[in-house]
Amino acid sequence: MAAPSPTTTHHRLLLPASTHRRAAAALAPSALRLPIRARTTTRICAAAAAPAAAATAAPPASAAVAVEGKPTVLVAEKLGAAGLALLREFANVDCSYGLSPEELRAKISLCDALIVRSGTKVGRDVFEASGGRLRVVGRAGVGIDNVDLAAATEHGCLVVNAPTANTVAAAEHGIALLCGMARNVAQADASLKAGKWARNKYVGVSLVGKTLAILGFGKVGSEVARRAKGLGMHVIAHDPYASADRARAIGVELVSMEEAMTTADFISLHMPLTPATDKMLNDEAFAKMKKGVRIINVARGGVIDEDALVRALDAGIVAQAALDVFTKEPPAADSKLVLHENVTVTPHLGASTVEAQEGVAIEIAEAVTGALKGELAASAVNAPMVPAEVLSELAPFVVLAEKLGRLAVQLVAGGGGIKSVKVTYASARAPDDLDTRLLRAMITKGVIEPISDAFVNLVNADFTAKQRGIRISEERILMDGSPETPLDYIQVQIAHVESKFPSAISESGEITVEGKVKDGVPHLTKVGAFEVDVSMEGSLILCRQVDQPGMIGSVGSVLGEENVNVSFMSVGRIAPRKRAVMAIGVDEEPSKATLTKIGEIPAIEEFVFLKL
């Protein structure tokens, strides 16, 4: 076989020039290519000249008649006047607030787009009832928990959100809770209104010189940091994606999660709710914290184990908490957490300012109208439609790409952030005969989604990576072989980072993972400099060991004793009796005790557990 010939491209559509326009049209989701047809007459809001106050109230009984030839947008929850005005310039706008599920299903077949906030559930039944007419769902806010993304994608409906407009409002509310909690404002207010004068009971604590740890250094976390610095606080932050340069510019020190937990006087939460962050602040986490720590949460309720927080408050580990969000909203009337005397609560007011509401309204209106016009929406949160022939050929490689990205990011350690990801495709095809956009998008998805609230797809992958300061570069290696198979292997490298599993660092200094598709199944074939061969299903344990007899049996016995089923096992070594890496696929997640036992095997030098 001839030596590989590397060629480098960066974010380039690898298609013949003559087919660029045709391919771009084919790859655009059908939701973005909506033809403007004559529409059934429906009730719409009053004209744009109506007073602003009326624009956010329930529509009057009598309303204007829809204009034929325009798409119809159903606004199911209150939206700011500026957003409604933008919508009316392009579409018929039906403002029907407080619809029951039955009424929504009955109305949706007459609508091309739907705009909701958090109170309207847009489930599979809504998409089915639309009869294929609904092309865009706009969520006026960040979270999209109330929209069934899988059903939306299946029905060719694009989902967009408004992720930036409420950033300042959320940060300001976080600071308000921080200050109010430190000085017992809510408790003192209630006491005085009850006829008491308890000055000695409500002595607060100063913020100057105290350490504030921000967990999640994205848009809101950064704005909180700026304001906290103005209050004279020492600010540290933990976020595996945060840019060290950006943090330094604000005057913030990036630290490990351990350091953030153990040194902070105040902890402010700004991470999304993902499987990795679900109940992240639990009994174990609270036990590590400085006694008397104070907690602020304006992010997502589920990142805190609420029962564990009550125990920490009662034990004096946590002195106070200020919460705007809860696992269940609204919380139960008899919630021990809400009623706790050392807890300040607000009913999810983070985005509740006049300015933020108008900003969200404008942002979602622009996203929805842009999508209906056929523009690609940067705030799209579900996968667009891909030509069947492209998806069919690349399907197993799409799975491989996402899992390689997900595996690589789990190997990253430290708080320096990810800045550079290099993807190498080895193929016998000519550079103009393979469109890698979908593969790059799935690698970006795998790298970003595990600890982020971003939803990455073909439409927004490059935009999302750029937002987080991550440069995705691509290289093509031309291989000898049959062009019938689109790819021989995919390699993902993350540069300038530390690793939880140092053996994953290649000779050139990057975390390196490589994979192939075998019989339609993605396989991990290389970790660092070590060749392995293990199916990328379930979860994975990587062990670096001394290459000696009995190692497979030793690790297998530990897993067997704990009823953890091994699906695949592979050992790659640099030379006999030297160092080796064992890759073990498991069907179940081993307990911490089981992983500890594996680490205690004398010949095991390092290991890591990875979820695929």
pLDDT tens sequence across 230-265: 999 999 999 988 888 889 999 999 999 999 999 999
Determine the Cα–Cα distance for residues 427 and 490; give it in Å rounded to an integer.
9
- Of the pLDDT bands very low, low, confident and very high (cuts 50, 70, 90), residue 186 is very high
Retrieve residue 163's tokens.
Answer: 């992720």
pLDDT for res 11:
32
* Averaged confidence pLDDT in the chain: 85
Instruction: Find out whether 321 and 313 touch, Cβ atoms under 8 Å.
Output: yes
* Strands (DSSP E) found in 41-186: 72-75, 92-95, 113-116, 136-139, 158-161
Which residues are annotated as catalytic? 300, 329, 348
Q: Which residue has the higher pLDDT, 42 or 524?
A: 524
Residue position matching structure tokens 């920490």: 312
pLDDT for res 63: 41
pLDDT at 55: 37
Q: Which of 53-62, 166-175, 416-425, 569-578 is least confident? A: 53-62
Confidence of residue 37 (pLDDT cuts 50, 70, 90): very low
> At 46, phi and psi to the nearest 5?
-60, 165
Q: In the structure encoding, which two tokens stand for residue 529, read together? A: 């400099």
> What's the DSSP call for residue 395?
H
Whether the pLDDT of residue 387 is over 90: the answer is no
Tens digits of residue pLDDT in 427-485: 998 877 777 888 998 999 999 988 677 767 776 788 788 888 899 999 999 988 878 88
Residue among 481, 575, 490, 585 at smallest CA distance from 535: 585
The pLDDT, as a whole number, for residue 381 is 84
pLDDT average, residue stretch 198-221: 95
Chain position carrying tokens 């049959």: 482
574 pLDDT band, cuts 50/70/90, is: low
Ramachandran sector of residue 518 (left: φ over 0; alpha: ψ -120 to 50; beta: rest):
beta
Task: Cis check for the bond before 240: say yes or no (omega within 30 of 0).
Answer: no
516 Cβ partners below 8 Å, 6+ apart?
A: 400, 488, 489, 490, 522, 523, 525
- When pLDDT is averaged across residues 7-12 and rounded to a whole number, the result is 33
To the nearest 10°, report the CA torsion of 463, 465, 470, 473.
Answer: -80
pLDDT digits (tens, 9 = 90+) for 521-546: 999 999 998 899 999 988 999 998 88
Which residue pairs, CB below 8 angstroms and at least 24 apart, start in 398-402?
398/438, 398/439, 398/442, 399/442, 399/522, 399/536, 400/490, 400/515, 400/516, 400/517, 400/522, 400/536, 401/439, 401/440, 401/442, 401/443, 401/446, 401/490, 402/442, 402/443, 402/445, 402/446
Q: Helix %, strand %, coil % for the chain, to 5?
A: 35, 25, 40
**Which of 54-68, 136-150, 161-175, 472-486 has the lowest average pLDDT?**
54-68
* pTM of the predicted model as reported, rounded to 2 decimal places: 0.65
Confidence at residue 24, expressed as pLDDT on a 0 to 100 scale? 35
**In whole angstroms, what is the distance from residue 466 CA to residue 484 CA?**
34
Tokens of 86: 């933008």
In what helix (H) or strand (E) does residue 610 lie, and over which residues does it extend?
strand 604-611
Burial class from Cβ neighbours inside 10 Å (0-12, 13-18, 19+) for residue 16 reads: exposed
The kind and range of the H/E element at 24 are helix 20-27
Q: How confident is the model at residue 392 (pLDDT cuts 50, 70, 90)?
A: confident
C-alpha–C-alpha distance, residues 569 and 555, integer Å: 10
Q: What is the reported pLDDT for 376?
A: 60
Of the pLDDT bands very low, low, confident and very high (cuts 50, 70, 90), residue 66 is low
Q: Count Cβ atoms below 10 Å from residue 6 Cβ, excluding itself.
A: 11
Contact between residue 422 and residue 495 where contact means Cβ atoms under 8 Å apart: yes
